[in-house]
Structures are given as structure tokens and as C-alpha cells.
Amino acid sequence: MQDRSILIYDTTLRDGTQGEGVSLSLQDKLNIAVRLSEIGIEMIEGGYPLSNEKDAMFFQKAKELNLGSSLLAAFGMTRRRGMKASEDPGIAALLAAQTPVITIVGKSWDFHATEVLGVSLQENLDMIGETVEYLSRHAQIVYDAEHFFDGYRANAQYALSAIETAAKAGAKWVVLCDTNGGSLPEQVAAIVSSSKARLDPLGVRLGIHCHNDGDLATANSLAAIEAGCDQIQGTINGIGERCGNADLLCVISNLQFKKSGYRVLQNGSFEHLTELSRFVYETANLVPRNSQPFVGRSAFAHKGGMHVHAVNKFAHTYEHMNPELIGNERRILVSELSGRSNIAALTQKHGGQPDRVLLDRILEMVVKKENQGYQYEAAEASFDLLVKQCSGTYRPHFETIKYQILAGDLDTLRQQQFAEAILKLKVGDIVCVEAAEGHGPVNAMDAVLRKTLSRFYPSIESMQLIDYKVRVVNGEAGTAARIRVNIESADEHHSWHTIGVSENIIEASWSALVDAVEYKLHRDH
């Protein structure tokens, strides 16, 4: 029996932007659309052209994009009450977008029709039918049945009549929406089966659109597929209103690697799913969710020593799939919970072949450091230097003699502030003293360190600080609390993370900066 093809419909650019803290520029939306097309997403919803100028401009600019076989969809609503579809400005905006797919959302819940729209039940059906019939002359119509599952539970016959009206009017797809995100998988499966039986004679295909308010959007989407849906709507990383939408990355991965009998993505670019996830997070300026299944940074991370020992022998004992299939990677974490297996795995990754004595020495040092507030899980460069120190292979490229930070108001009237760092260090037999200004103490320290070292190590010019995070280790100590500083640095080839801990935030920052520079110089030389 041939695998059933499941069409992926992405609404990151429209539904995803309704999430709290999510905002995409016009160029962001264009860039994401291209990336979606590259992995084979069949339908890409660009937005609601009547809602704002940016969405209207998107559809004009999108005509210049090479989206391959991906189809662009414009989103809109049924005609307004008391108005012909041909006279409705919203309908006109959809046609002006000139997309091959038009998605129309309509009411399927009788309560919504009478109390929210303020129309009779029959007029709501007329609004659905007339809108779909008019637009189906110009594009492939996807009908989104809003609040369908709530509507079905309240008045099943009316909800079914709403989607039947859309199907008879010419919709190619009828998508059942769990708009409130509160349905359970068994409810979704039963309602989809009933709806499919009603619509099958009309030759229309079903889709599913789930929200994640019950943390079941992926489960509900898969249940709907099992019950007969052939299209899944969702967003990349599950971004969206309230608790978000179904995460397409999870749904795609489950269909491809966990279930049998289904075919997803036209070009099968599964190894780019993790890359796509991080691209969308970065473009939307969102913090990636490390625990995100399949593509998250922690999805295949192992911390407990017993787990790592088993994974090193048989990966499938603690990994449900090969992370490389979706472009992710296995990560071995090191902490006070680690055993020799963690240390051995990480040390080998960093180029060492440790013996038992060295492993015990490294583990002892890690436990000691973590008691002080260090965490090496997200500071692999500092861990690499620690391994070198324990093995006796660490050779510092410079020695800090002393540093001083000056900061304050440069102009109290205009509230301009200054920060200056003065540094005295030793490179070989040469003692150097330099000063540099910056936008803040850390920026000034970074500037003076690189200024001092660049004449000895020119490659340091390509290095830059790209992220800086501060956490309180022991908050109960108040202003005397120990501070943990994590720094991410990068050059034209790599990025790396370092850590510093101290009761003095300047000292913690300096420690992390020195590690960042030493790591680069050790790697370069």
C-alpha cells in the first residue's frame, strides 16, 4: 500500500506573529518564506493583506521570490454581513494579493455566529458559501473552520453544515480548527471521523489546525491525521497566540520517523529542520527553547553519568532516534552529577585521550568548581581549558598583572556616561600597559584586552563578543551574592562559550573574557 501524502501548511508568518513578543519585519517574513520553501513546505501563509500595510507589501515583494513548488496563501475572512462578496474590501485585498491559494476563516460555532458576529445561523452559512464560491473562481480555497471542535460539541449538526457549505461552494480543503486548544486527542479523532464521513461524498480533503493550550497540539494533530486529515497547519517552533500553535517541526518528525504509512515534505529535507528552527528563533529575536523536542539544544543532551555510559555503548538506550537525521547533535554535559563517562566523552571530543587518573582529577575539579557556582554545560570552551590545566598541557598566552575600571557620568546635564579600562599584563617577557574606553565596563575590558594583545596575536582582531549573560548564584546573599557570567564569543569560523564566577561582577566578567581569548589563541596556535 502506498504511503499517504500529508501536506504541510505553514502559518508562521501570520498566526505565529500573534504570539506574545513575536514581531517580524517585512524582510524577516520574506527570508523565512524562502527558507520554508527550501525544505519543501507545500503551502506558506503570508498574512492578511487587509490588516496592515506590511502584509500587503509582503505579497507584492513575494512575487519576486523563488519559492520553488511551494504555494503562497493569503489569509482573510468571509464577507461582511449585509454585503456582497464582490463589494467587500477584504475580499478585494485577497484578490489583489494574486496568490495561488486563498485561505478563508469562517464561524462554525453557532454561539459565535449569533453572539459574536451578530448574524442569524442562515446568514452565517450564506457568508461562508458566497465567499468561497466567489473566490474559488480565482484561486485554490482552503476553508478554516474556526472553533470547529467547540462548535461541534455545542451543536454538531450546525458545525457540520458550516463545513459542508464551504465544500459545496468549491473549497478544495476544509481545515478543522481547535482554536481554543482545549480538545483531547480522542475527541479530535472522533470528530474528524464524523466530519470526514459527512464530506467524503463531496470530494473535499480535510486538514487540522491545533493550538497548544492543553499542551496537546502535536498529539491532536497526529490523532487527526490517523482519523483521515491530509493537511496539517502549524508554525515553526510552535510560536503563536497564547500557548502557541502546533509545532510543525515536531509533527513532521513524528510522521517521518515515528509513524509508518505517511509521506511528508516534498524534497525530504529533514536534516535541515534544526537549522530552520534556529533560523526562525534568530530572525524573530526569540530565545530558543532548549527543551524543545527533536530540534532543541537539550533534546539529545546527557548529564547523568550512568546515562552517558550507556549512550556511549548503545545510543538508542537513551535516545529515541539518531539526532543527525534532523540536523541536531548529541551533547554530553558535565556537572557535579557527571561520572567518568561524561568526562571521558567530552575530553575525547576536545582531542584528549585521558587515563583514569586524569579523569578523576578532572571530575574532582569540576565538582569543586560547581560548588563555587560554575556550570560547564553551556561553557564548553572553559571546560576545554580546564581539561588542559588538569592534564598539564595548558600554556597561558599572557599573564594579567592588574586591571582597573573607571566608570561614571561624563556629562551630568546630558546624562552621558563613560567607562574606561586600564590594563597591565605580561606577554612573554614584555610588560604592557594600555587603556581603552567602552560603552560599559565589560565592553571597555574587552576593548583594552584586544588592543593590548593584537600586536602579539593579530588573529584576535577577528574575534568579537556576541552575547553576555549574568546570573545570581546565591540570591539569598543579596548584594553580596556570587555572580555567574556567561560570554559567547565568535570569529569568522566558530563560536564558543566561557564562564566566570565571583562575588565581584567585574572579576567574573574578566575571568570569562580571559577564557574566551585563551580558548581562541589555543585553537589558533
pLDDT tens digits, residue range 159-183? 999 999 999 999 999 999 999 999 9
Non-local CB neighbours of 312 within 8 Å, separated by 6+ positions: 341, 344, 345
52, with CB counted inside 10 A (0-12, 13-18, 19+), is: exposed
> What cell does 429 get?
617577557
Tell me the pLDDT band of 476, cut-offs 50, 70 and 90.
low
Buried b (16+ CB within 10 A) or exposed e, 424-456: ebebeeeebebebebeebbbbbbbbbbbbbeee
pTM of the model: 0.72
Confidence band (pLDDT; 50, 70, 90) for 343?
A: low
Does the pLDDT of residue 99 top 90, yes or no?
A: yes
Mean pLDDT of all residues in 30-42: 95
**pLDDT band at 448; cut points 50, 70, 90:** very high
Looking at this protein, which amino acid is placed at residue 400? T
List pLDDT tens digits, range 318-334.
678 888 898 887 666 66
The more confidently predicted of residues 378 and 27 is 27
Residue 410 has pLDDT above 70, yes or no: no
Strand (E) or helix (H) holding 132: helix 121-135
- Check residue 119 and give left, alpha or beta (phi > 0: left; psi -120 to 50: alpha): beta
Half-sphere exposure at residue 103, Cβ-oriented, CA atoms within 13 angstroms: 28
Question: In the numeric block, which cell numbers belong to residue 106?
Answer: 469562517
Q: Which three cell numbers stand for residue 309?
A: 555510559
Distance between CA atoms of 379 and 381, rounded to whole angstroms?
A: 6
Average pLDDT score over the chain: 88
User: What is the per-residue pLDDT across 346-405, written as a single tens digit (0 to 9) for each?
Assistant: 565 545 556 778 877 887 887 788 778 887 766 888 988 988 888 888 899 999 999 999
Residue 383's SS3 state is: helix
The Cα 439–Cα 444 span in angstroms is 7
